[in-house]
Amino acid sequence: MIALERPAAAEAEGALVLLHGRGADEHDLFPLLDVLDPKRRLHGYAPRAPLALPPGGAHWYVVPRVGHPDPDTFWPSYRALVEWLDALPYERVVVGGFSMGCVMSLATSLGGDLRRRPAAVCGFSGFLPVVQGWAIDDSRPLPPVALGHGTADPVIGIEFARRARDQILAAGGELLYREYPLPHALDQQFLIEVREWLWARL
């Protein structure tokens, strides 16, 4: 998997992986590595999704309708991402993403296929996928999740975030959940809150 890397300032205490949204690429969330990890304590990675689809950019899966990834494209990307995350040379890994990248972050981190679960998950403007064969695996402890979503999001409605919130809590997960009066965008105040939340857990 192609990925931009941002080395840690000293010996890395783990890894921070950020997954971009639909039609973007590995450059999109790369600056966010320094926002969430300003002291560069973690080795940062920004991977590129494996699919090149219209209207351009990289994609994690095909979208027949919001909330329901196409299984034929979702599962190969999911398995490739699981394999890539499991191969990272760090015990502690934080996974995060925006939009479609948020979906992949939540799916890999809360599903049952990673050899070791992430230390934490940061999701922005996404959802838990409804796709045959995937479900939250609560047979082992879930990683803590931070989840934020704009209430005026015209791309992925706020109801998807609320459903994810309810499912994570029902599975016994620890959750930091925020809504903010924004469209399909990152909230700077929430990013600062997530940074403090993250380091309290690391």
Q: Which domain holds residue 16?
A: 3-201
**Predicted TM-score of the model (pTM):** 0.97
pLDDT of 65 reads: 94
pLDDT for 149: 98
In this predicted structure, what is the pLDDT of residue 74? 98
CATH number at residue 85: 3.40.50.1820
At residue 168, the pLDDT reads 98
Task: Answer whether the bond into residue 55 is a cis peptide, omega within 30°.
Answer: yes
DSSP-based three-state secondary structure for 143: coil
Q: DSSP secondary structure string, 162-178?
A: HHHHHHHHHTT--EEEE
Report the alpha-carbon distance of residue 134 to residue 103 in Å, rounded: 12
Number of domains in the chain: 1
Long-range contacts of 196-200 (CB under 8 A, 24+ apart): 197/144, 197/146, 198/36, 198/94, 198/120, 198/122, 198/146
pLDDT of res. 115: 97
Residue 118: predicted pLDDT? 98
* Residue ranges of the chain whose pLDDT lies below 70: none
Element holding 96 (H helix, E strand): strand 93-98
Identify the pLDDT of residue 129: 98
